[in-house]
Amino acid sequence: MRDVWDGSYDRGMTSNSQRRVLLAKPRGYCAGVDRAVETVEIALEKYGAPVYVRKQIVHNVHVVRTLEERGAIFVDETEEVPEGSIVVFSAHGVAPVVHQEARGRNLATIDATCPLVTKVHKEAVRFAKDDYDILLIGHEGHEEVIGTSGEAPDHIHLVDGPGDVANVQVRDPDKVAWLSQTTLSVDETLATVRALRERFPNLMDPPSDDICYATQNRQVAVKQMAAGAELVIVVGSTNSSNSVRLVEVAKEHGADNAYLVDYAAEIDEAWLAGVTTVGVTSGASVPDELVQGVLAWLAERGYGDVEEIESVKESMRFALPHELRSVQRPSGPGPRLEART
């Protein structure tokens, strides 16, 4: 395996002997997802089933199904949780009103909000306290956007990409700040910020990047890989923002085609027609066992030569939510979710 790839690959050979796979690294679980999944696992061990989880703990159907089999019950709203029960809030974060609702129902809450989402919440609170209009770049209806907006509903305006900039209305064009969802396309967000700054030259930046390290690193990795692959397969769910972005980035950076699949069984053999090099990666909420399933499927079709391309080294890990801090964690990073058959 190469430590760092220089991005130079020839394309176009199609003989069986030259079929190969480029496997992106980093891929899959980020520190926030690892922590959120572990939170539900430990809550089940510590308190026993059922443990209620508001929304999908992370946006991956396999993770959700596996935790359901262990006794987690996923609900959409706090009012669906029986009074006095335990409820876990998902990695995407919740608005303050959700905490109030939980208190009103006498629920024991465990907050698995990713610390990097919490950071954006705090930025929103601070800008609102200073009475800025806050332009939140993100996708309408995404749970993270709903949670962040709930921190300062009177100050936050959603900006859904560069095309939405012209629609923004603010009270004072000289007192405007921007924030963003953590899982956006880095390039598109920069384009949105440029367009916002043209309208609002005194636009205030967030104190640090809101698009998280994991989203950025997976996009860097897929850009390098896509330059050498005709087809890119991204493992991830359709409601996973960062996974969907990986498909877009792959197409923008050299892949002829890129597809999102939850499982190997969803791959269409027709996608392989004339393809020598297949790129494989996965979103930040995807356990690596699903990627291994895709690699096995490809190997059965002659794509058994796998080269892992590491673009960035990752070692981030987050402490458990404070409600579970007394619990001993297994050592070392990485997912612990095993497939249930």
Task: Enumerate binding residues for ligand SF4 (CB under 6 A).
Answer: 30-33, 91, 114, 116-117, 182-183, 212, 214-215, 242, 284
Which are the catalytic amino acids? 144
Give me the least distance between CB of 119 and ligand SF4, in Å please: 9
Give me the least distance between CB of 87 and ligand SF4, in Å please: 19
Whole-angstrom CA distances from 219 to 93, 178, 188, 228, 270 are 23, 22, 12, 15, 26
Nearer to ligand SF4 by Cβ, of 113 and 276: the residue is 113
Give the whole-angstrom CA distance, residue 150 versus residue 30. 25
Give me the least distance between CB of 210 and ligand SF4, in Å please: 9
Nearer to ligand SF4 by Cβ, of 191 and 316: the residue is 316
Contact between 113 and 89 (Cβ < 8 Å): yes
Give the whole-angstrom CA distance, residue 35 versus residue 225. 28
Nearest Cα residue to 321 out of 164, 162, 112: 112
Give me the least distance between CB of 148 and ligand SF4, in Å please: 11
- Residue 332, CA atoms < 13 Å, CB-side half-sphere: 3
Give me the least distance between CB of 33 and ligand SF4, in Å please: 5
Q: What is the 3-state secondary structure (H, E, C) of 164-205?
A: HHHHCCCCCCCCEEEEECCCCCHHHHHHHHHHHHHHCCCCEC
Give me the least distance between CB of 15 and ligand SF4, in Å please: 39
For residue 25, give the 3-state DSSP assignment: strand
Enter the tokens of residue 109: 């809450």
Q: Is the dihedral of CA 167, 176, 161, 76 positive or negative?
A: negative
Enter the tokens of residue 335: 């997912």
Nearer to ligand SF4 by Cβ, of 32 and 254: the residue is 32
Nearer to ligand SF4 by Cβ, of 43 and 117: the residue is 117
Nearer to ligand SF4 by Cβ, of 180 and 224: the residue is 180
Task: Name the closest residue to ligand SF4 (Cβ).
Answer: 32
Contact between 120 and 96 (Cβ < 8 Å): no
Length of the chain: 341
Which residues face 108 on adjacent strands? 86
| Side chain identity at residue 222, one-letter code | V
| Side chain identity at residue 54, one-letter code | R
Nearer to ligand SF4 by Cβ, of 59 and 155: the residue is 59
